Chains A and B, each alone.
Chain A
């Protein structure tokens, strides 16, 4: 008896959450280009990334911009040349991939990153994300602070 209302509340809550998401701005999960290309959805739907391929990409000048990732984010993504650029080394691969998808699909704007990401395929995004996520890190989460 007591469990039923709880179950209903939980179900309602999850449905409410789902409703929130659909009312939200286009998430990367359903970006226009992903749909057009028949890609599944979200960073979780990206193909598995390969760090070696990602390293090659990260250190190769982009045809469009003449810049490689490491030209601005530094070696291993750990030494950005400007304080407004993030460190990437050791960042979660799926967050990096999500950010690149947003830039690529025009859902996040940055003069440099938008053009840098414009022509990346899902595989390339996954590879670059894998590479940087596997580098040593200068980042940490906020767990266990006193």
Chain B
């Protein structure tokens, strides 16, 4: 008896949660959110790897688990340690702008400033 209700409530939680993901890209057009000050191409900040390291704690949840797989569609989460800073900056910026689509990555990137992204890129690119 309880099951349908539980299911329904779970679904109602799940659907709005995801419905919120796509609007994030709109930040490029509206000046409202403070995080949007991370405009794509103003003077590129210089990355600080030490600071970036502190920002990458959440990255580990997926990129720090060897062999970890993304679901739907199913593929390994990429190895990103050692990629060049500019590649990583572009990837995070594109997720932030919604040009690259991945719910988790878009959500992660939406909270970062341009400085954060530069710092994260500096750190991850330095990994050997």
Contact = CB atoms under 8 A, between A and B. Distances in A.
Contact of A42 (B19, B73, B103): B73
A19 B11 contact: yes
B64 A95 contact: no
B6 interface: yes
Contacts of A9: 6
A83 B79 contact: no
Contacts of B41: none
Contacts of B21: 24
A13 to B, nearest CB: 7
Contacts of A16: 10-11, 13-14
Interface of B: 2-3, 6-7, 10-11, 13-15, 17-19, 21-22, 56, 59-60, 63-66, 68, 71-87, 90, 99-101, 103, 124, 127-128
Contacts of A108: 100-101
Interface residues of A, number: 48
Contact of B101 (A18, A41, A43, A107): A107
A9 B99 CA distance: 34
B103 A20 contact: yes
Interface of A: 8-9, 11-13, 15-21, 23-25, 27-29, 41-44, 80, 82-87, 90-92, 94-95, 97-98, 107-109, 137-145
A109 to B, nearest CB: 6
A98 B78 CA distance: 11
B15 A87 contact: no
Contacts of A11: 7
B11 A15 contact: yes
Contacts of B124: 142
Contacts of B68: 141
A82 B66 CA distance: 28
B65 to A, nearest CB: 7
Q: Name, among A12, A43, A109, the residue most crowded by chain B CB atoms within 10 Å (CB to CB).
A: A12
